[in-house]
A and B are shown apart, each in its own frame.
Chain A
Amino acid sequence: MNLNLTMFGQSLVFFAFVWFCLKFIWPFLKAAMTERQEAIAHGLAAAEEAEKKLTEAASGAQDELAKAKDEAAQIIDQARRRANQMIEDAKGEAREEGQRLVDAAKGEIDQEMNRAREALRVQVAELAISGAEKVLESSIDASQHSQMLERLAGEL
């Protein structure tokens, strides 16, 4: 066991090897490993994200569905109310129309009655005049007494 120059030679070789490892081996392997680690971490994060999004989408769809159902119910409700409204309106209109028709008929009846009364009055006046003519014979001039007769007819 004798120490000799081998020791220093080996020390130099050692430093050279360490230097080579430091410069040409370690950084490359470390970089590749770190990058892969990141890639895997990214992948896992993305998977988690996707899962979260999926549940979000599912709950979103549920919400959408509930909303759509709500809306549909609302629309049906509205339609029903509107139909009722229309029926009510139609009923009111029909009632009004009927009233109007009744009123018109009543007016016509009144007019008819008035006209009949007028005609009756005229006939009564004529009848009275012809009666009085017959009583007085010629003493009554139709034109002279028509004023009086008209007044008489108006009283009827």
Chain B
Amino acid sequence: MPTGETQTSAEYIKHHLTNLTYGQHPDGAWGFAHSAEEALEMGFMSINVDSMAWSIGLGVIFLLLFRRAAKNATVGVPGGLQNGVEMIVDFIDDLTQSIFSHKNDLIAPMALTIFVWVFLMNLMDLVPVDWIPELAKLFGVHYMKVVPSTDPNITMAMALAVFVLIIYYSIKCKGLGGFLAELSFHPFPSKLLIPVNFILEFVTLIAKPLSLGLRLFGNLYAGEMIFVLIAIMFSAGIGFALAGGVFQFVWAVFHLIIITLQAFVFAVLTIVYMAQAHDTEEH
């Protein structure tokens, strides 16, 4: 905690959990929010610049890397990059084929994008929590959250996108009537129980994107919080600092599993939801 003299622990934590938000101040001027409260006052018409920049940056890294592998893809013996990329592609392809039995070329590339992108965003969690924010401070940027997946906007945005596709493919494959019928006649196939069915199924439907987005957010937010708490230990004397170093390493190793798992879960659930949206048969 390099700025410990002027900050309490609570302020330090809060600072780490505040996004760099751009929007309209209540007095009408546009600009960056200078505190979490100001950001909250901006309401909906504001944007978290750090989350967007980091997520887009990481996404572009992913796309460029894979694009390079795709452009240079050879049928012969693959090189290092192609090998790694193909391993991931093959993994996602197998996963998709084992869950999703319909014909839709969108699903596998989408699962690949989700898996790698979410993984990269989660990976930012392993960068020591003060490095990039302190660096940004040198350039006059006061808030910098570098892990996009600890921002619910980011995770919910992807969940929302998946939700839109669920609705789209449900209506496309079953027709509007079929989709509504699925909502109305499950789990009790009776005309009398349509309201009950509808409430149950609607909640199930809404729960899909909510759980998808909030699961990723919750896991990463908690992980980030623990890294921040460990970082506080560094300013509490040599004994705490050493213990903090050990904790940080242990937690980072454990977190490595979590971030991979969360990326995987997001991709798998997306495929599962897509498969459900395509399923036309009664069950």
Binding site for B on A (CB under 8 A): 1-11, 13-15, 17-18, 20-22, 24-26, 28-33, 35-36, 39
Contact = CB atoms under 8 A, between A and B. Distances in A.
Contacts of A11: 157-158, 160-161, 164
Given A11-B161, A21-B66, A29-B66, A39 B75 contact: yes
Q: Which 8 pairs show the lowest CB-CB distances between chains A and B?
A: A10-B157, A6-B153, A32-B73, A28-B70, A26-B109, A22-B109, A6-B48, A21-B109
Interface of B: 21, 23, 39-40, 42-48, 51-52, 55-56, 59, 62-63, 66-67, 69-71, 73-76, 78, 82, 85-86, 89-90, 93, 105-106, 108-110, 112-113, 117, 151-154, 156-158, 160-161, 164
Contacts of A39: 75
Given A29-B85, A33-B89, 13 more contacts: A3-B44, A3-B152, A3-B156, A4-B21, A10-B55, A10-B158, A11-B158, A21-B63, A21-B66, A21-B112, A26-B89, A29-B66, A29-B73
A3 B153 contact: yes
B89 A30 contact: yes
A5 B46 contact: yes
Contacts of A2: 39-40, 43
Nearest to B154: A10
B89 A29 contact: yes
11 contacts: A6-B46, A6-B51, A7-B154, A10-B153, A10-B157, A11-B161, A17-B63, A18-B106, A26-B70, A26-B112, A32-B82
A14 B153 CA distance: 12
Nearest to B21: A4
Contacts of B154: 6-7, 10
Nearest to B23: A4
Contacts of A1: 152
B63 A25 contact: yes
Residue in B46, B86, B90, B110 with the greatest tally of chain A CB atoms within 10 Å:
B110
Nearest to A28: B70
A18 B109 contact: yes
A8 B46 CA distance: 11
Given A5-B46, A10-B55, A17-B63, A28 B71 contact: yes
A118 B109 CA distance: 136
A14 B89 contact: no
Contacts of B151: 6
A13 B63 CA distance: 12
Contacts of A28: 70-71, 73
A25 B109 contact: yes
A29 B52 contact: no
